[in-house]
């Protein structure tokens, strides 16, 4: 059954403590953000440091997300890579888990052509009976899925949408003009949430919404009721804060602030990620205290 992909989705961090996944903190995060009003959860994206998790941890994180969410919101999981056969194998390994769908990133590093990208995602979609969202993020993958290619893939029945982080507002707005009505565009550019939503995007998958979540939820609710002034007012205090969360490698700044709030027990990441600089920590602490007041 196809899940309606819209609204504010959270690409969950994976908390660690002394090198292991901190499931106690993770359970709390899932409950916390559902209570805050997010529309969907996405574990094991790059914000969740999925490349640094082993196979058993990946399965355990998905299982835990499903168990704690308990059907209250849909759950998609990040399943992607730069070798098509390996992604197919991973989908087979995880097929027993009742996720609603997957988010699959464009193959990175090897820089396939457009026909290679199309063939890759056709194979990924054929390897699963779940919904597939494509993740286009050229500044991480070194390859840009063109709108022509994406719209060709939109004809595949279980390719239902895209997390659009193209890095080009022209490309993103063109996609919104051309996309089929039943194909969801969710922005992955946190700073463009208001802009993209105002131009017809169905929502956003936003790492920044780990913080000041109520504000992001209010932006989304205002757009749903066609309240543009309300959305603008809700976005105003977020606009300057969001870029600070990406001043150093994601999710290090987000984890720092979640730790400061007591939502996770440690800000640690897995190498090669470390912790944010002392200077950024001081700035974030000061700005967040002001925004949260």
Q: Which residues are catalytic?
A: 135, 163
Q: How far apart are CA 165 and CA 3, in angstroms?
A: 21
Terminal C-alpha separation, the chain? 42
C-alpha 212/C-alpha 37 separation (Å) is: 12
Alpha-carbon distance 14 to 107, whole Å? 22
The CA distance from 106 to 139, in Å, is: 11
Taking a C-beta distance cutoff of 8 angstroms, is the pair 270, 50 a contact? no
Cβ within 8 Å of residue 21, ≥6 positions away: 14, 15, 53, 57, 60, 61
């Amino acid at each position: 059954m196809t899940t309606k992909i819209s609204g504010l989705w959270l690409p969950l961090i994976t908390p660690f403590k002394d090198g292991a996944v901190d499931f106690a903190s993770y359970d709390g995060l899932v409950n916390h953000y559902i209570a805050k009003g997010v529309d969907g959860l996405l574990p094991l994206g790059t914000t969740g440091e999925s490349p640094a998790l082993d196979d058993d941890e990946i399965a355990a994180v998905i299982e835990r997300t499903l168990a704690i969410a308990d059907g209250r919101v849909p759950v998609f999981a990040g399943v992607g890579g730069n070798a098509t056969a390996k992604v197919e194998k991973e989908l087979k390994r995880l097929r027993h888990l009742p996720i609603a769908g997957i988010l699959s990133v464009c193959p990175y590093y090897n820089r396939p052509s457009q026909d290679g990208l199309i063939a890759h995602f056709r194979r990924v979609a054929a390897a699963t009976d779940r919904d597939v969202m494509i993740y286009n993020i050229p500044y991480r993958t070194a390859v840009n899925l063109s709108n022509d290619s994406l719209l060709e893939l939109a004809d595949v029945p279980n390719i239902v949408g895209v997390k659009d982080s193209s890095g080009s507002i022209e490309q993103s707005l063109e996609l919104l003009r051309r996309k089929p009505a039943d194909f969801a565009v969710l922005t992955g550019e946190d700073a463009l949430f208001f802009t993209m939503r105002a131009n017809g995007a169905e929502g956003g998958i936003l790492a920044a919404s780990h913080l000041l979540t109520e504000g992001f939820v209010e932006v989304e609710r205002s757009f749903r009721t066609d309240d543009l002034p309300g959305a603008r007012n809700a976005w105003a205090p977020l606009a300057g804060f969001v870029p600070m969360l990406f001043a150093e490698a994601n999710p290090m700044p987000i984890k720092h602030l979640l730790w400061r709030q007591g939502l996770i027990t440690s800000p640690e990441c897995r190498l090669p990620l470390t912790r944010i600089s002392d200077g950024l920590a001081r700035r974030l602490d000061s700005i967040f205290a002001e925004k949260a007041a």
